[in-house]
Structure 1
Amino acid sequence: MNPLVGGAVIVLLGSAALMALIRLVRGPSTLDRAVAVDMLLAVMLAAIAAEATLNRHTTTVPVLLALALVGFLGSVSIVRFSAREGSRRARG
């Protein structure tokens, strides 16, 4: 792959991670922070996939699958927890 493309990928993924970190710090609600954590995980997955593409190896594919599964389970558990908290607050 062209080094220019690799540099552009690094810059774009870095800026996406920076914006997600800003949302994580400044997010007014727990759900905003959960979305920011999901976004950071997606950026990390994209960075690992880009590294595997640049170096032309497939040894990190199981790592990508495991991280994607952990991210999915984490988001589902956060949403379920926040839904329970919302229903408790509504009841009084």
Structure 2
Amino acid sequence: MDTVFLYSAIALTLLILASLYRVVGGPTVLDRIVGVNVVGAKTTVLLLLIGLIYGEVAMFVDIALAYALLNFIATLGATKFFLRRRSVRLEDEQAPTKEVP
């Protein structure tokens, strides 16, 4: 069963590397924030898989929960910062509408 967890962890690590493409090359700031959030969620699952491989799930669950909470708070903070700075526009604000008189 450990080999299943090991191969799953390796596959998840490769998926994390693939998700980093969106973080580095995202066309907008919101894409980059979502990419960082996806990497954080996958890292949380990776921590749990490492706990299963080493047989100390209780310790890694605590670490994974703390990391997930920090990831969530950082995502909210970054989103709020960029929205207040007005460098990020929502989709409704991007397309100006013209009124016909």
User: TM-score w.r.t. structure 2 length?
Assistant: 0.74
Residue segments in structure 1 that go unaligned for 5+ positions in a row: none
The CA deviation string for residues 15-65 of structure 1, in whole angstroms up to 9 with x for no partner, is: 211211111111011111111111111121111100111222111222111
Give the structure 2 partner of residue 80 of structure 1. 80
Written as runs of structure 1 = structure 2, the 5 A alignment for 1:11-90 is: 11-57=10-56, 58-86=58-86
Q: Which residue type is aligned with residue 30 of structure 1?
A: V
Q: What stretches of structure 2 of length at least 5 have no aligned partner?
A: 94-101
Runs of 4+ aligned residues of structure 1 deviating over 6 Å after TM superposition are none
Structure 1 length as normaliser, TM-score? 0.81
| Structure 1 vs Structure 2 CA RMSD | 2.2
- What percent identity do the matched residue pairs reach? 28
Q: Say which one has the larger Rg.
A: 2
